Structure 1
């Protein structure tokens, strides 16, 4: 069983660590390590305390350990006592402003870093410009006692990827940083990359246990494909393969009786529109004439549950915990704006708890179905995708028959649902588990490094 110990700093320069007798019992330990820094020291039992490690100012300086006491985890392997985890959160978009070092996302990162005492970890935020390759250290941003401060720390035990978008992720400089830290320094990197809708669908199709949740989905190839799917389902969705925030989504409906086509979408000015056409070609020419259709997918339309004629879908967050197990950490309903093709807030959508829109029995039934689906899908994605996945945001729907459908999976889920007053506690929970997983990953990388390299 893991245990946490308070790391105290004594005002002397001895290379001696005083620690509980239980840590020394039957073990030979000759080094202490923090992140990538390790030094030889003497270990002696603490004469009075059994819940803390005492290190000197000199050890603190050599390890680049922060100048405050904190309860951390201890991992012992190969005669080295590792304290941590030290968690690097990799991102981009830094500003020169001390109070808002990461611009509009500063508030999110402050919440993420504020869980350190609760979790027993030291997280910091950094970008490629903050790395000192020659020294093996990073000048990262720490959020401590409600203030941002810069701090020089060693290379971390693990890295949590929080790059803001696909364009940034493809930056050759940032790609090289990730490859170097993973390959040359063997630092595990979790939640890398952004999911592609088509890739997700194809990976999940290989798993029979989750096939029931997948709407029929194809890359756009021809008008005849659209005609077939419209004939089969009555309405379909055209979506960008790598889209986000509901941008570029078009719903196409076919009225068999009138032999007419309708397209619901949001125009460039952000106005929800519904237009009628006598032919599919005319619809495409008018609405989608300048789009690259090779980068679109066609997806089966689902007749969703509704409230006041407005479709409902659901956002579910899942996270792995400090044992590597999946949990549902947040669940909310999203109701589409009037005439909107999506449930996003920017299109007039509203966030509600399930209890606000369903009777008690319905609420219990739908919650159970959504939780079951989200956990099954999380396990399947973690097993079928490259890299270490520990956090996913799902957009799921429930149709009129009570069946659950997967619309999207996001490796960097948005946080808009947490604006709802009753979901603020779940905002903290997702942050806590994002950091808690770092404990599990650090322990695995120290005890079983070969396995972690395979996962990456």
Structure 2
């Protein structure tokens, strides 16, 4: 029996992250502690390994595990993992040549499974969804921002737009643009700050473009059709879903949360002033309990189809993703975002199930071999 399986044949799992010269390794330590604890409770050997220490030709690698108090960290030697759970925290880390090389080596390794190898790119997500008749209907019109002409072209067709960084995270860098032709300054650009937003007005799009250009700082951006979301007490909300693969390797919805935009925010992200809400209560208060059940069932169904299509598009093995779906004023579903490194859900029941599913899927990967 290979030493990359525990005594009862459970695979050895490593959480992959980046080396940090001050803190030993990067990433959400509390998240890692909870993953390790859940793994131990389920009978797995789990540890944190950095890209630097993951030596694929060695039988043993240097890793980190929690101390007896579950808070401190200690360094030990561990068997090479059978499954790698990728939690490299930042895109800029993932883009480093040595990191790309290591991920590629893991993908090619005959005895290791790594899942969710890369972050998603926003523009690619929408192009993948548009390739399927089924998922296309949930995707707002999305184009690459290629200068003023591309913005002008989009606003001719949609008077309400969002501008989003292709590689954005947690609502950073998002702008909202509206054209209200009956106003003397018809072009309104709202820029998201920390928890507030600033509005710039202009008589022409050319005038406003200087501001847009200054905000985008040359980063790749997408322009997206704005959706008039259903609101409660004047605040827009969307549904945050966690979709994971089960022990059978099938996509399932682990949980649905709701996030409501802050009163001065153009996004629902909690770091930007958004609040965590109960989706059942929210939808029931808007649509009544029967209709709310129907909507939630449709949302779950859409999420599974979207996850399948994204995996088909990216051509890598995925085991989980979070996604944001919105409901417009007529109750139709729209897809806004998917994240291949989901942040932890604050809802306790979703959190517990999500941790267990990480290991259920690792089991499936090893059995599939």
> TM-score under structure 1 normalisation?
0.74
For 2:55 and 2:157, locate their aligned partners in 1 and report how far apart those are by CA, in whole Å. 58
Deviation at 1:344, TM superposition (A): 1.2
Q: Provide the rounded CA distance (Å) in 2 between the counterparts of 1:163 and 1:170.
A: 11
Shift of 1:292: 4.2
Tell me the residue number matched to 2:50.
127
Alignment counterpart, residue 89 of structure 1, candidates 15, 20, 43: 15
Please name the residue that 1:207 is paired with.
132
Q: Where does residue 394 of structure 1 map in the other structure? A: 323
Deviation at 1:156, TM superposition (A): 1.3
Question: Are residues 1:136 and 2:62 paired?
Answer: no
Q: Render the CA deviation track for 1:257-277: whole Å, top value 9, x for unaligned.
A: 22611111124x664112221
Report the CA distance between 1:326 and its aligned residue. Answer: 1.2
Aligned to 1:367: 296
Q: Distance in 1 between matches of 2:366 and 2:322?
A: 24
Report if aligned partners of 2:64, 2:76 keep a CA contact under 8 Å in 1.
Answer: yes
1:323 matches 2:248: yes
Residue matched to 2:227: 302
Of 274-283 and 176-185, deviating more is 176-185
Q: Aligned-pair distance for 1:104? A: 6.3
Q: What's the offset of the Cα at 1:431?
A: 1.4
Of 427, 430, 437, the residue aligned with 2:361 is 437
Offset, 1:320: 0.3
* In structure 1, C-alpha distance between the alignment counterparts of 2:67 and 2:255, rounded to whole Å: 26
Please say if residues 26 and 89 of structure 2, whose CA atoms lie closer than 8 Å, have aligned partners that are also in contact: no
Q: How does 1:43-442 map to 2 (within 5 A)?
A: 72=8, 83-94=9-20, 102=25, 105-131=28-54, 135-143=58-66, 146-147=69-70, 148-258=73-183, 260-267=186-193, 271-289=196-214, 291-292=216-217, 295-359=220-284, 360-415=289-344, 417-418=345-346, 423-442=347-366
User: Which residue is 1:34 aligned to?
Assistant: 3
Coordinate RMSD, CA, aligned: 2.3
Q: CA deviation at 1:281?
A: 1.5
Return 250-259 or 146-155, whichever deviates more. 146-155
How far apart are residue 186 of structure 1 and its match? Answer: 4.2
Alpha-carbon distance in 2 for matches of 1:413, 1:252: 28
Tell me how far 1:133 sits from its aligned partner. Answer: 5.8
Relative contact order (C-alpha < 8 Å, sep 6+): which is higher?
2
Give the drift of 1:183.
2.8
- Where 1:130 maps in the other structure, the secondary structure is coil
TM-score by length of 2: 0.90
C-alpha deviation, 1:294, in angstroms: 6.4
Aligned CA distance change for structure 1 residues 273 and 104 (closer, same or farther; 3 Å): same
CA distance in 2, matches of 1:436, 1:224: 49
Residue 256 of structure 1 deviates from its aligned partner by: 1.7
Aligned to 1:62: none
Contact 2:325 2:337 in 1 (8 A): yes
Preserved contact between residue 136 and residue 155 of structure 1 (Cα < 8 Å) = yes
SS of match in other structure, 1:317: strand
**Cα distance in 1, alignment partners of residues 300 and 133 from structure 2:** 18
